[in-house]
C-alpha cells in the first residue's frame, strides 16, 4: 500500500521484468553463475569425479612459473593475432574498396567473397587441410608448376601462418567486408567533390577523407577481430587431431598449440578443471585488458563525425 | 545552372574519366584473383569429392575427375551415422531458431518499451556478454549439465537458446531492440488507450512490424547453431548423438592406419554438411547482409 502512488510505474516495471525474465533467468543460470563458479574453481584442484579441493593461488602460480607450455602457448596465440589482425583488417578493407568501385558483376563477386563466412569452420579446416596436403595437395603442385617448392604447411615453422591463411579465408570476406562497404557508401559524396575541386588526387582523398570517415567501423572491426584471434581454436584443433592422447601430440607438434587449445586440453582431456578455470580467468583478464587498451588508443585515430554515432 | 548541377556535371565527367575500359579490366583482374582465393577451394572440394579412390591419391593431381563417382556421396552417407548427425543438427538448429527468435524478441521488447529500475545497467551487462569469452563459462556449464544429466543429449545445445544466452543472444537482442525502437510509440499508446495488454501489443504490433529483422535473426540463428563446434564437442560423447561438425572429424581418421587416402569421402561429407548453410545463404542473402549492416556487431 505504501507504494500506492507509484502504481502505474510499478506496473510498467513489473511487466518489463516479466518480458525480460527469459533472458534474465538465462543470464543468471548460464552466464553469471558459471562465471562466478569458474572463479571459485580456479582456486581449487578439481577433477569432475571428485569434489573441488581448495589450493589457493597454486593454479595461478603454476601457470606463471612452472607450466612449460603456458607462456609458449600465449606467445603463439599473440603471434597468430599479430599476423592475422592486420591482414584481416587490410583484406576486408581492400575487398570493400574493390566492391565500392564501378566493378561489373559486383554482386556476383560479393557473394563469392561472402560464401566462406557461412561455411562451417570445421569444413573450412578440412578442405584447406586437403588443399595444403604436402604430398597430394593442389597448392604445392600449382607452386611446383611455377618453379616454387611449396613448404610442408603443417611443419613447426609454417603451421601458424597456415592457420592464419585459413582464418583469413573464413573471415575476410564475411561480415567485416560488408560493414566496411556500408561505411564507404556512407561517406558523403560532397567531401570527394570538394577535395577534387581543390585538386586532390585519389590517393589523398583516400588518406584524408575515406580513412578518417570510416575509422569508427575499422575500429569496431579491430576489436571484434582481435578478440576472435585470441580465441583461435577450431582450425588448430581440426588440423592436429587424428592422434589420440591429448591434442598436443599431433603431427604439428606444439606449433599450433594455442592458448584456448591448451585450455580445452586441460579441461576435457586431462580433466584438470581447476587449472583450466584459472587459465580461463587469466584469459578473460587478457581479453578485457587488450580491449581496454584499444579503446584508449582509439581516441588518437578514430574520428567521430558529429552526431553520427547514434547506434 | 545551379551549383549543384555544376558539381553533378563535374563528377559525371570525372566518373567517365576514371572508369575507362582499362580501369574496368584492372578491377576485373583483381576481383578474379580474390575469387580464386575465396571460391577456388569450393570448386576443388567439389571436384575432389567426385574422384574415385585411385584418382584421389594420384600425383600429379587432376583438376576434374576423370570419372564422376556419384557413389562417393552414398558411401559418405553410409560410412558413418551421417543420417543421425544430420537429424541431430536439424533438431538443434530448428529449436535454436525458434528459441532464439522468441526469447531475443521478448527481451528486446522489454529493453525498448518498458521503464524499470536497473534497465540501463542491465543493458550494459547485456552488451558486456557480447565480448565475454565463452571459454570462461565452459567448465561450469559442463558440470551443470552433468548434474542435470543433460550430457550426451541435445538439451545443452537447445535449452539455453530459449533464454537468449550468450553472445548470440546478446547480438540478436541488440538487433531487435534497434528494430523495435524504430516502430512509432504512438501505435502502442493508441492500443493501450483501447485497453490492449502488452501481450497483445507485442504480438499484434511489435512482432509483425519487426518481421524483417526477425527473419535476419532466424537466418543467423540457423547459421551459428548449424556451424557450432565447441559446445557439441564438449557436451556430447556418444557417436550417435553428434551433430554434423563434430561428426566430420571421423572422416579425417578414416584409413589413417592403413595410409589409404579417403579424402574423397571427407570432401563429400564436408560438401554435404556445408550445403544447408550455403543454400540458406542464397535464399536469405538479403536478410543476412541487411542484418550485418544494421549492427556489424558479430565476428
Shortest Cα–Cα distance, B216 to chain A (Å): 13
Residue B296 to residue A175, Cβ atoms within 8 A: yes
CA–CA dist A208, A282 (Å, integer):
40
Q: What is the pLDDT at residue A6?
A: 59
Mean pLDDT computed over A95-123: 93
Q: What is the pLDDT at residue A248?
A: 45
Q: Does the pLDDT value for residue A244 go beyond 60?
A: no
Q: Which residues is A44 bridged to in the sheet?
A: A54
Phi/psi of residue A151, nearest 5 degrees: -75, 170
Cβ(B170)–Cβ(B126) below 8 Å: yes
Q: What is the pLDDT at residue B123?
A: 96
Nearest to B107 among A23, A121, A189 (CB): A23
How does residue A174 score in pLDDT terms, banded at 50, 70 and 90? confident
Q: Does the pLDDT value for residue A207 go beyond 60?
A: yes
Cβ(A287)–Cβ(A230) below 8 Å: yes
pTM for this predicted structure: 0.89
Longest CA pairwise span in chain B (Å):
81
Q: Which residues of A touch B270 (CB under 8 A)?
A: 123, 126-127
Long-range contacts of A283-287 (CB under 8 A, 24+ apart): A283/A230, A283/A259, A283/B133, A283/B135, A283/B136, A284/B132, A284/B133, A284/B135, A284/B136, A286/A230, A287/A227, A287/A230, A287/B131, A287/B133
Residue B281 to residue A114, Cβ atoms within 8 A: yes
How does residue A246 score in pLDDT terms, banded at 50, 70 and 90? very low
CA–CA dist A98, A110 (Å, integer):
10
Question: Which of these ranges, A90-94, A113-117, A155-159, has the smallest mean pLDDT?
Answer: A155-159
Cβ(A236)–Cβ(A261) below 8 Å: yes
Question: pLDDT for B83-108, tens place per residue?
Answer: 999 999 999 999 999 999 999 999 99
Residue A30 to residue B48, Cβ atoms within 8 A: no
Using 70 as the pLDDT threshold, list the residues of chain B that sit under it: 1-19, 255-260, 294-299
Q: What is the pLDDT at residue A277?
A: 97
Nearest to B292 among A17, A175, A190 (CB): A175
Q: What is the pLDDT at residue B13?
A: 52
Which residue carries 595410409 as its cell? B259
Nearest to B141 among A23, A30, A291 (CB): A30
Q: What is the pLDDT at residue A307?
A: 44
Cβ(B178)–Cβ(A311) below 8 Å: yes
Shortest Cα–Cα distance, A280 to chain B (Å): 5
Q: Which residues of B touch A19 (CB under 8 A)?
A: 106-107, 109-110, 114, 198, 202
Cα nearest neighbour of B114 on chain A: A16
Q: Which residues is A54 bridged to in the sheet?
A: A44
Q: Does the pLDDT value for residue A68 go beyond 80?
A: yes
Residue A118 to residue B278, Cβ atoms within 8 A: yes
Question: pLDDT for A20-30, tens place per residue?
Answer: 999 999 999 99
Shortest Cα–Cα distance, B185 to chain A (Å): 15
Q: Which residues of A touch B281 (CB under 8 A)?
A: 114-115, 118
Nearest to A16 among B110, B162, B246 (CB): B110
Residue B159 to residues A20, A37, A131, B72, B238, Cα–Cα distance (Å) = 17, 20, 38, 36, 19
This complex has an ipTM of 0.89
Q: What is the pLDDT at residue A309?
A: 45
Q: Does the pLDDT value for residue A4 go beyond 60?
A: no
What single string gives the DSSP state of each residue in B9-53?
Answer: HHHHHHHHHH--HHHHHHHHHHHHHHHHHHHHHHHHHHHHHTS-H
Question: Which of these ranges, A145-154, A239-248, B62-71, has the smallest mean pLDDT?
Answer: A239-248
* All three cell numbers of B41: 577451394
Residue B296 to residue A281, Cβ atoms within 8 A: no
Question: Exposed, middle or buried: residue A192 (CB in 10 Å: 0-12, 13-18, 19+)?
Answer: middle
Question: Which of these ranges, A36-45, A163-172, A190-199, B10-19, has the smallest mean pLDDT?
Answer: B10-19
Which 3 state secondary structure label does DSSP give B290? helix
Residue B273 to residue A120, Cβ atoms within 8 A: yes
Collect all residues with Cβ–Cβ distance below 8 Å to A217 and sequence separation of at least 6: A179, A180, A182, A183, B296
Q: What is the pLDDT at residue B259?
A: 64
Residue A280 to residue B139, Cβ atoms within 8 A: yes
Alpha helices per DSSP H over chain A: 7-27, 33-41, 58-61, 70-99, 106-118, 121-131, 138-145, 159-171, 175-186, 189-197, 202-205, 211-230, 234-240, 259-268, 273-298
CA–CA dist B39, A108 (Å, integer):
11
> Percent of chain A scored above 70 by pLDDT?
92
How does residue A251 score in pLDDT terms, banded at 50, 70 and 90? low
The secondary element (H helix, E strand) that includes residue B212 is helix B211-227
Residue A16 to residue B35, Cβ atoms within 8 A: no
Residue B34 to residue A136, Cβ atoms within 8 A: no
Higher pLDDT, A210 or A252: A210
Residue A276 to residue B139, Cβ atoms within 8 A: yes
Mean pLDDT computed over A276-282: 98
Which residue carries 582523398 as its cell? A205
How does residue A5 score in pLDDT terms, banded at 50, 70 and 90? low
Shortest Cα–Cα distance, A281 to chain B (Å): 7
Nearest to A126 among B39, B103, B252 (CB): B252
Q: Which residues of A touch B223 (CB under 8 A)?
A: 118
Mean pLDDT computed over A126-133: 90
Shortest Cα–Cα distance, B163 to chain A (Å): 5
Which residue carries 581447476 as its cell? A274
Test mutation, A8, A13, A23, A194, chain B, max B CBs within 10 A: A23
Q: What is the pLDDT at residue A308?
A: 47
Nearest to B143 among A48, A175, A230 (CB): A48
Among candidate residues B231, B271, B225, the one with its CA nearest the CA of residue B248:
B271
Shortest Cα–Cα distance, A214 to chain B (Å): 13
Shortest Cα–Cα distance, A157 to chain B (Å): 23
Q: What is the pLDDT at residue A88?
A: 96
Length of chain A in residues, anyone? 311
The secondary element (H helix, E strand) that includes residue B245 is helix B244-247
Question: pLDDT for A298-311, tens place per residue?
Answer: 888 888 765 444 44
Question: Exposed, middle or buried: residue A152 (CB in 10 Å: 0-12, 13-18, 19+)?
Answer: middle
Q: Count of alpha carbons within 13 Å of B49, Cβ hemisphere only?
A: 24
CA dihedral angle for residue A185, residue A217, residue A74, residue A48, rounded to 10 degrees: -100
Residue A127 to residue B37, Cβ atoms within 8 A: no
Angle between helical axes of B82-113 and B166-181 (0-180°, round to 10): 40
- CB neighbours of residue A76 within 10 Å: 24
Cβ(A244)–Cβ(A272) below 8 Å: no
Amino acid at each position: 500500500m505504501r507504494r500506492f502512488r507509484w502504481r502505474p510505474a510499478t506496473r510498467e516495471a513489473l511487466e518489463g521484468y516479466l518480458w525480460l525474465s527469459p533472458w534474465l533467468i538465462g543470464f543468471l543460470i548460464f552466464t553469471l553463475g558459471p562465471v562466478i563458479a569458474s572463479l571459485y574453481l580456479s582456486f581449487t584442484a578439481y577433477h569432475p569425479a571428485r569434489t573441488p579441493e581448495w589450493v589457493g593461488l597454486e593454479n595461478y602460480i603454476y601457470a606463471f612459473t612452472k607450466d612449460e607450455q603456458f607462456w609458449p602457448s600465449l606467445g603463439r596465440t599473440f603471434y597468430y593475432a599479430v599476423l592475422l589482425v592486420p591482414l584481416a583488417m587490410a583484406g576486408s578493407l581492400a575487398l570493400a574498396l574493390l566492391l565500392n568501385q564501378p566493378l561489373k558483376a559486383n554482386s556476383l563477386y560479393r557473394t563469392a567473397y561472402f560464401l566462406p563466412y557461412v561455411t562451417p569452420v570445421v569444413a573450412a579446416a578440412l578442405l584447406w587441410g586437403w588443399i595444403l596436403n604436402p604430398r597430394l595437395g593442389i597448392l604445392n603442385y600449382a607452386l611446383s608448376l611455377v618453379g616454387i617448392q611449396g613448404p610442408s604447411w603443417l611443419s613447426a615453422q609454417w603451421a601458424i601462418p597456415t592457420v592464419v591463411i585459413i582464418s583469413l579465408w573464413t573471415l575476410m570476406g564475411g561480415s567485416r567486408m560488408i560493414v566496411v562497404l556500408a561505411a564507404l557508401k556512407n561517406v558523403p559524396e560532397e567531401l570527394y567533390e570538394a577535395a577534387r575541386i581543390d585538386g586532390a588526387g585519389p590517393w589523398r582523398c583516400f588518406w584524408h577523407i575515406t580513412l578518417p570517415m570510416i575509422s569508427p567501423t575499422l575500429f569496431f572491426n579491430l576489436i571484434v577481430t582481435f578478440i576472435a584471434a585470441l580465441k583461435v581454436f577450431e582450425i588448430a584443433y581440426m588440423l592436429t587431431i587424428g592422434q589420440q592422447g591429448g591434442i598436443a601430440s599431433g603431427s604439428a607438434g606444439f606449433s599450433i598449440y594455442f592458448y584456448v587449445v591448451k585450455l580445452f586440453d586441460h579441461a576435457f582431456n586431462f580433466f584438470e578443471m581447476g587449472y583450466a578455470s584459472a587459465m580461463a580467468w587469466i584469459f578473460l583478464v587478457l581479453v578485457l585488458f587488450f580491449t581496454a587498451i584499444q579503446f584508449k588508443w582509439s581516441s588518437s585515430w578514430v574520428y567521430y563525425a558529429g552526431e553520427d554515432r547514434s547506434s | 545552372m545551379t551549383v549543384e548541377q555544376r558539381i553533378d556535371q563535374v563528377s559525371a565527367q570525372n566518373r567517365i574519366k576514371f572508369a575507362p575500359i582499362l580501369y574496368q579490366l584492372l578491377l576485373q583482374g583483381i576481383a578474379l584473383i580474390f575469387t580464386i582465393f575465396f571460391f577456388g577451394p569450393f570448386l576443388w572440394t567439389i571436384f575432389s569429392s567426385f574422384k574415385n579412390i585411385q584418382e584421389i591419391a594420384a600425383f600429379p593431381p587432376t583438376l576434374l575427375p576423370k570419372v564422376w563417382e556419384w557413389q562417393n556421396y552414398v558411401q559418405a552417407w553410409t560410412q558413418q551415422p551421417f543420417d543421425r548427425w544430420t537429424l541431430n543438427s536439424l533438431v538443434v538448429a530448428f529449436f535454436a531458431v525458434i528459441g532464439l527468435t522468441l526469447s531475443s524478441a521478448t527481451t528486446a521488447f522489454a529493453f525498448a518499451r518498458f521503464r524499470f529500475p536497473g534497465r540501463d545497467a542491465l543493458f550494459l551487462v547485456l552488451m558486456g556478454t557480447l565480448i565475454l569469452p565463452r571459454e570462461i563459462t565452459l567448465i561450469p556449464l559442463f558440470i551443470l549439465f552433468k548434474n542435470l544429466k543433460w550430457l550426451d543429449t541435445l538439451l545443452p545445445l537447445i535449452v539455453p537458446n530459449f533464454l537468449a544466452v550468450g553472445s548470440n543472444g546478446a547480438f540478436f537482442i541488440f538487433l531487435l531492440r534497434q528494430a523495435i525502437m524504430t516502430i512509432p510509440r504512438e501505435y502502442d499508446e493508441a492500443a493501450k488507450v483501447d485497453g490492449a495488454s502488452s501481450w497483445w501489443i507485442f504480438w499484434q504490433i511489435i512482432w509483425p512490424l519487426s518481421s524483417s529483422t526477425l527473419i535476419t535473426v532466424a537466418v543467423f540463428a540457423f547459421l551459428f547453431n548449424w556451424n557450432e563446434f565447441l559446445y557439441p564437442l564438449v557436451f556430447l560423447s556418444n557417436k550417435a548423438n553428434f551433430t554434423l561438425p563434430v561428426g566430420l572429424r571421423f572422416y579425417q581418421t578414416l584409413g589413417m592406419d592403413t595410409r589409404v587416402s579417403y579424402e574423397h569421402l571427407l570432401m563429400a561429407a564436408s560438401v554435404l554438411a556445408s550445403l544447408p548453410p550455403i543454400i540458406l545463404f542464397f535464399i536469405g542473402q538479403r536478410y543476412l547482409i541487411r542484418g550485418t549492416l544494421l549492427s556489424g556487431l558479430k565476428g
